[in-house]
Amino acid sequence: MSTLDYVTGLRRIIGTRPVNLVGAAGIIVNGDGELLLLRRAGAENWGLVTGTSELGESLSETLRREALEEAGLRIGAVELLEMLSPVSLAQVANGDQFYSYTALFRVTDWSGTPVSDCMEIAEARFFSLNDLPPLTRLGLKAQAWLA
Amino acid sequence: MNYVRDLRALIGHAPVNWVGVCALVLNAENEVLLQRRTDTGGWGTPGGIAELGEPLPETLRRELWEEASITPIHPEFLTVISGPQTYQKLPNGDEFYQVVAVYLVREWHGVPVPDGEEGTELRFFNLDHLPASLGPVDGEALGLLQVR
């Protein structure tokens, strides 16, 4: 199932009006202590592997699915760090409005080499904590947890 | 504001992911506060679904005030429960899955009093003598207390 199923189905009925969406994001660090960051197509800031839950999908499963879809990584054990509530209404290019509730996980076991999907994700690579690019809200959260 | 009612007016009974909170309110005897719910008829933890864009700590405060007339002091976030096991279908036909932030509340202002709407009765229960037929999320949330 792709992320499109639940949210697209909902959008067909409710249009662009604001809705609460829940999802997951993951802090993935390599053996050198570097943080995996992703830059979405059209975006300037770098953030984490993240996405919206399918209907009835557990949050850790959402993270597992998104890590594979967005960066080609297989995720093992994860640890929930915090549940982030929305700070403001988000709006995407097509006008869809939503508030994000995001479970932030630390990924303690993963495998693979990050590759961007070349569609949603423009770039995916590890950064030294001493040399981080401009960060999204989730990227900043990761930086704070790793400090 | 009533996010659930407004969204239901558009989507009907169709299944949806609801994000919300539940509170494990423990008194000095380590008993947990449960309420008898009017929607399902069974006992459950106080809590509920977030309004549109509502921060979850605020949902916790609002629901505890609405359902039990208490205000939590220093609630402790424990975990989030989510997944297929959270599925519920209400007697009115509404279907939903839940994503529930669980908070532990050991201190509060006020005396628990039921609101007469969502919950008809409030009572503290010994953790070894919890009522049967708890919902899936409450069973999992209360299980967190058993292992603490």
Closest Cα to residue B147, out of B127, B126, B133, B131? B127
Q: Is B99 in Cβ contact with A56 (below 8 Å)?
A: no
Residues of B in contact with A12 (CB under 8 A): none
Beta pairing class for B16-25 and B95-105: parallel
Quote the pLDDT of residue B148: 58
Q: Domain tally for chain B?
A: 1
- Domain ranges for chain A: 4-146
Residue numbers of the domain that contains B106: 3-146
Q: How many CA atoms lie within 13 A of A23 on its CB side?
A: 20
Q: What is the full DSSP assignment across A78-114?
A: EEEEEEEPPSS-EE-TT--EEEEEEEEEEE--EES--
Q: Do A59 and B57 touch (CB under 8 A)?
A: no
For a pLDDT cut of 70, what percent of chain B falls above it?
A: 95
Q: How far apart are CA A117 and CA A123, in angstroms?
A: 8
Phi, psi of A7 (to 5 degrees): -70, -40
- Residue B31 is part of a domain; what is its CATH number? 3.90.79.10
d(CA B50, CA A22): 11
CB contact under 8 A, B82 and A99: no
pLDDT per position as a tens digit, B67-104: 999 999 999 999 999 999 999 998 899 999 999 999 99
Q: What is the pLDDT of residues B25-50, one digit of tens each?
A: 999 999 999 998 776 778 999 999 99
Q: CATH for A4-146?
A: 3.90.79.10
All residues of chain A having their beta carbon less than 8 Å from the beta carbon of residue B19 are 20, 22, 101
Tell me which DSSP letter residue A130 carries: T
